[in-house]
Amino acid sequence: RWNYWRKKKKGKAMIEKTMETTVQLGDGVKMPLFGLGLFSSAPGDETYNAARYALEAGYKLMDTAAYYANEESLGKAVRDSGAGREKLFITTKMWPVDYSDPKAACMDSLKKLGMDYIDLYLMHWPGTDAERRKKVWNAMLELREKGYVRACGVSNFYSEMIEELISDSGVVPQNHQIELHPWIQQRKMRAYCAEKGITVTSWGPIFHGHLSEAPLMEEIGKKHGKTAAQATLRWHLQQDINLIPKSVKKQRIIENAAIFDFSLDEEDMRRIGELDGMGQAFTFDPLVYDGEGRPPRMDPKQKGLL
C-alpha cells in the first residue's frame, strides 16, 4: 500500500508523491521511495557533509555499504544531525569478501554505523558460487529474525539467482537494487520483481554520471523548467522505482529532491522509453565477477537486463 494523497485531474485519480512517500517491504517495514546514495562518497568529511546536507533537505533514506567504507561517516552524520534514528531508513550491504561470516559482517556494519539495527540489509553482489549465496541468504534471514535487520534483499542478481534463494529458503527478497536508468530500463527484471512482490531500487539513476551523453533529458527538463537530472529522476519516480541519486554537493542534493512538483507527460515517457538499450551498462557480469578486481563491463543486451 502506497503512502500518498490523490487529486482529480481530467476525471482520473492522480497519485501525488512526496518526500514522505514509502513502499511496503512486508512485515510492516516501510521504505522511503527517494533517498541519498553514498556510492563512491569518500569516507570522512565528504560523506559526513553529504549526509548532513541530505538530512537538512528532508531526506529519510540513506544508502551505504561495507564496500563503500563510509558507514562510520554516515553514522556520525545521523547522530550529529539529531534527526532521530527511528525517523530514518538506513540501507547497507554485505560484500563477497565477508560472505564466509555474514553475522560478523553485519555486526561490523552496525558497529561502524553506531546503530542497533539496519533497516534494509542487502547481499551486495551474488558472486559465482550458488551454494554460498544460499548460505549467506539464510544467515541474513536469521539476522532478521533476531532483530539486527528489519528487511533483507539482494543487489545485482539475475532472476535465476533469486529463484534459487526462494526455492531453498521459501523466503522472497524484499528489495532488489540494480543498475537502472533510461539507457538500461530493466523491463524484464522489473516485471519479474513485480510478479514476486519484490520492490526495486535503482542505483546510478542519473545515467551513472553520463547524463551529458543523453541530450533528450536536457530537452525534456527544459520543457518543464527543470534540469536534465531532475527529469531523469522524475522518470523513475513516476514508475514507482525507488531511487538513490548520489551527490556530495549541497546544491545538487537539494536539486535532486525538487522532483515532486511536476510530472512528465505521456509523450515524455514514450520518448524516454526509446532510449532503452542505447547506452552501455556500468555494472559487471554477475556470472563471472566474484567481487575482486575490475573485470570488463557487461553487454547491456545480456540476459536479465533488456
Q: Which residues of the chain have pLDDT under 50?
A: 1-14, 303-306
Whole-number pLDDT of residue 121? 99
What's the topology of domain 5-273? TIM Barrel (3.20.20)
What are φ and ψ of residue 284, in 5° steps?
Answer: -105, 170
Q: Which of 48, 53, 67, 68 is catalytic?
A: 68
Catalytic status, residue 148: no
Start-to-end CA distance of the chain, whole Å, equals: 28
Q: What is the 3-state secondary structure (H, E, C) of the chain?
A: CCCCEEEEECCEEEEECCCCCEEEEECCEEEECEEEECCCCCCCHHHHHHHHHHHHCCCCEEECCHHHCCHHHHHHHHHHHCCCHHHCEEEEEECHHHCCCHHHHHHHHHHHHCCCCEEEEEECCCCCCHHHHHHHHHHHHHHHHCCCEEEEEEECCCHHHHHHHHHHHCCCCCEEEEECECCECCHHHHHHHHHHCCEEEEECCCHHHCHHHCHHHHHHHHHCCCCHHHHHHHHHHCCCCEECCECCCHHHHHHHCCCCCCCCCHHHHHHHHCCCCCCCCCCECCCCCCCCCCCCECCCCCCCCC
Question: Is the entire prediction scored with pTM above 0.85?
Answer: yes
Q: Using the structure block, give the residue that is written with the C-alpha cell 528487511.
A: 151
Contact of 103 with 77, CB cutoff 8 Å: no
pLDDT on residue 8: 36
- What would the pLDDT profile of 119-178 be if each residue is shown by its tens digit? 999 999 999 999 999 999 999 999 999 999 999 999 999 999 999 999 999 999 999 999
